[in-house]
Every structure is written in C-alpha cells, then in structure tokens.
Amino acid sequence: MKKYDVVIIGSGISSIISGLILTKHRKSVCILEQHYTPGGYTHSFTKNGVMYDTGAHYIGALDKGRPFHTLLTYLDIPMDGLFFPLDRHGYDILEFPSFSVEYACDYEQTISNLSTIFRKESDAIRRYFDYVKKVALQFPTYEYDSSYDEASMQKIMNTSLQDVLDTFTRRPRLQSALAAYCTLHGVFPKDVPFGIHAVVTDSLMHSVHGLRNGGQAFVDALLVRFKNQGGELFMQEKVVDLDIENSLIKKVTTASGKHFIAEWIISGIHPKAIFSFVRKHLKKAFTNRLDNIQESASFLTIYGEFKDVKHFAPLKNYYYFQQESPDKLIEVGTASDTPSCIFLSHPNTLDRKTGQTIIIPAKMEWFKRWENLCSNERKNDGAYNSIKQTIAQKILKTLASRGVSIDSWKTLDISTPITNRDFNGSIDGSAYGIYHSIDNTGVRALGPRTHIRNLLITGQSTLFPGMLGAAISGLRSCGHLIGIRSLLEELKKIQHTNRKG
C-alpha cells in the first residue's frame, strides 16, 4: 500500500489549499472527498442548465497585493477569468427599515456614506473604522507577518464586537450598520471577538469580487494545479474510521473499504465529525468541551432567477435587515417568523454565468421531522416541499414589503440545513462550522494541533469563517509541517512586491 506524506480528509477550500502548499513543498499528498463533486461549500451545482453557487458568492482581499491574491499568486494559480470585481463604489447595500447605506471598497467612502446618515456620529464612525483597519493589520496570517504582538492579539481576541461598539457609539441603529457583517461569520456582536469581525470587514473594504463561473471553476483551477504538482484526489471516498496505535493514526478507512496510510493526517471536515472517529482515545476534558461547542447558524437558500433585473443596481449585493438592533441582526426564530436578514447575491450581474440566490439564516430545528429521510425520500415528501415553499413565499413577501419588485422572480430549487448537512457533513447544516465566539477562537480555538499526535485539523471551524478564513486556515495548518515562519516570509515578499508594483 502506498504511504503518503499527508492524507487530507475533505476537499473544501481549506483542504485544497493545504494540498497545494504541501505538494508545492514536494510532499506526497492525497485528498479524500466523500462526494462526487469537490469543493465543499465552494462547489456549484447545475440545474436546468444553470449553474448555482452554494457557499461562494463574493470574496474579499483579491486585488493585487491583498492577502487572498498573494496566497493564490504564491500557489501559481492563474486567476484570469475566475473573478470579476463588484462595484467598488458600493458593493453591499444594507437596507434597514429606517435607512439604507452602502459599503464601498474604500474606507473614506464608507465613512462618508455612514456619516451622511449619522451626522452627529461622524467622528465615532471614523474612529471605529480606523480601529478596524489597525486591528486587521495585526493578524500574522492576514498580513503575513510573523512578528506580531502577543498582548495586543490577546486583547482583540478577548474583546467582543459589542464591547468595542459601545466604546464608540451607543446608538443601536448605527451599531447595527457597523455590525452588519455578523452575517458573514454568523456570530452575535456580544460573542464574536472583535479581531474576527475586523478581519472579515477589512478584507471586503479593499476589494470585492464575485466568481465568474461559480465557485466550481475556482475549485477546478486549484485542483488542476494540485494534480500538476503530483497531488492525488479520490472522490466518493467517505472517511468512516481512523485506526490508532500509540497515539498515532496508522490507517484511514473509507466507506468503500479502502485504507490509506500517511505520516500525517490533515482533516478539513467538521471537528466534531473527525473527533467522533477517535473519541475513545481522547480525554474527557476535550470531548466534554467539544460537545459543549455550539454550531453557527445554518442557511436556507432559494435558487432561481429574476427575469427582470433592472430594479437592481449592477454589481451590488443587497441585505434586507428586519431590525435595527445589533443583537437581533442574525437572530433565527421559528420557520414562520419574518427572517431577520435576507441576502440577495448581486442579482444584477450580467457578466457572471451563474444563477441567482436568495439566502436567509435558518435552523435545523425547522426541519427536524425530515432529518432522517434520505434525499430521494425528502424530494417526494409533500410536507417537506410544502414547508420549503411556504418559507420561500414568506421571504418573497417580505422582500415585496421592502419595495423589491419580485414579480419576475422564478424559484427553481430550495436548499435547507438538511441539504447542507448531507452534502457537507457540517453538524446541523451549520454554514460556518462551529460558533466562533471568544470561547472557541484565538488561544481557545480547536487545532491546528490535536491530542492525536499526527492529526492536524484545518477549515473554517479552526480559524475564521468564509473562503478567505478557510483558505488561511489551510496555510496555518501546513505551517506545522513546513514551518510557518518561512511560509509567511515567502508570502510577505510577494505581498510586498505586489503592493509596490
């Protein structure tokens, strides 16, 4: 049996980035993916001839000299044609019941947009964004700088967004506008470390791109390179067991009965899923902690088409928030409640080849009755289809009440938390993996090292959510095998050159 240097479990973006870094450093690597399509939440699917994205709608930090661009340059990924810029002058329109504001790829412009609405608070707005910028720069794996200040890092990872907001303004309406990107990590302002919120915000405020041919084209481009560097990808190989001897994984077993062996194992699947295979080898201290970690919210997505998009400005996303209070921004109530937030992924983008999506936060609980049915059984279950349609109708009605012209919308398909769970293996269909609260991040985070000596974990649950967070988590996990300092130095050089150029 071939022995690899590294077996990677799952083919989400964190796993593929790990595979690319390791093969670039001449390690023999194979990736095992349970599905017939690679990419995890970055995969796209095709229905009635139209391609739809599941979890790849827009990405930040892709301009030359920004962190994602630097990472892809380092990995020799040709980026032409994969991405297109959204409107730099206003890429996200945040619609609140009493006001509307645009975020732009420019701090000054965004500060000015907000200051027009909150005139008396313009100084606080400026100071808040100055702080966001300053904090984001402190992350070693975002700025690619290995010399960081531990004490200030602790401070930004132990202070909640809400605490920071309270120091700048007490007005819930303004706080809501500043906390809107809680939708992008799924953590309430009182729980999320300010550091995570700052990186997510900053990554978008320099550059924002959509994916021209969907997340799948991006994944395919990464995999071409991975294979060219000697990496192997095995599809429909669901890992079901890990054999342990003397605290080391000796063998990875898949559902098809195959075994894979390697010096190191990197898991890019949900931490609760990977540790379930080795539970009896772990101390209660760890398993008790793992069991108590909450999941982030899940999403329900409607896939379809606005035949007439002229009501939407080109190249902009739309967020419709229901409430103007930071603790209610991403609240998930019952299936019959009006959604706290509705996201339209840049509906007027003639340039892209993928279909349109409308997304709301959702809960597995809404679909408990059907969670044990397989996908074919669900497809034919009248009650399941009916609840999905009822929720979709509610979303469309809410959009109409907010002035969106929905007459030309045609629903093609609807995915629920069960779909997410079944396709991705995320617990309860969570969109962003574990709940990234102060208790589960920074020094308290799970991974990359684990109690099993040759098992590293990667993925959005180990660092911060989103494609960028997941990709950087791959870098960080590989740092344990190759040396994080040298990796960061190589990346820093590219970033530096590109910024100068």
Query: What is the contact surface with ligand FAD in residues (CB under 6 A)?
Result: 9-15, 32-35, 40-42, 55-59, 238-239, 268-269, 273, 299, 301, 359, 420, 424-426, 431-432, 459-460, 465-468, 470
> Residue from 119, 283, 307, 500 that binds other proteins (CB under 8 A)?
283
Q: Which does 10 bind (CB under 5 to 8 A by kind): other proteins, ligand FAD, none?
A: ligand FAD
Which range touches other proteins (CB under 8 A), out of 70-78, 150-158, 338-346, 423-431? 150-158
Tokens of 140: 């070693």
Q: Would you say 12 or 169 has its CB closer to ligand FAD?
A: 12
Which range touches other proteins (CB under 8 A), out of 95-103, 334-342, 362-370, 446-454? 446-454
> Residue from 439, 482, 492, 498 that binds other proteins (CB under 8 A)?
439
Sign of CA pseudo-dihedral 357, 363, 367, 373: positive
Interaction with other proteins in 291-310: which residues (CB under 8 A)?
292
Q: Which letter does DSSP use for residue 320 in this model?
A: E
Under the criterion CB under 8 A, does residue 245 sit at the interface with other proteins? no
Which range touches other proteins (CB under 8 A), out of 67-75, 171-179, 285-293, 314-322? 285-293
Residue 429 · residue 416 · CB < 8 Å: yes
Q: Would you say 425 or 479 has its CB closer to ligand FAD?
A: 425
The least CB distance from residue 153 to ligand FAD, in Å, is 22
The least CB distance from residue 451 to other proteins, in Å, is 6
Site size toward other proteins, by CB under 8 A: 18
**φ, ψ dihedrals at 10, nearest 5°:** 95, 150
**φ, ψ dihedrals at 407, nearest 5°:** -55, -35
Closest CA to 427 of 401, 404, 454, 461: 461
Burial class, 409, CB count within 10 angstroms (exposed 0-12 / middle 13-18 / buried 19+): buried
Q: Residues 152-191 vs other proteins: string with x where CB under 8 A?
A: --x---x---------------------------------
How many angstroms from the chain centroid is the CA of residue 455? 23
The least CB distance from residue 438 to ligand FAD, in Å, is 19
Q: How far apart are CA 170 and CA 326, in angstroms?
A: 11
Q: How far apart are CA 376 and CA 374, in angstroms?
A: 6
Under the criterion CB under 8 A, does residue 285 sit at the interface with other proteins? yes
Q: How far apart are CA 323 and CA 330, in angstroms?
A: 9
Query: Residue 49: CB partners within 8 Å, gap ≥ 6?
Result: none
Residue 355 · residue 332 · CB < 8 Å: no
Q: How far apart are CA 400 and CA 289, in angstroms?
A: 44
Q: Would you say 391 or 468 has its CB closer to ligand FAD?
A: 468
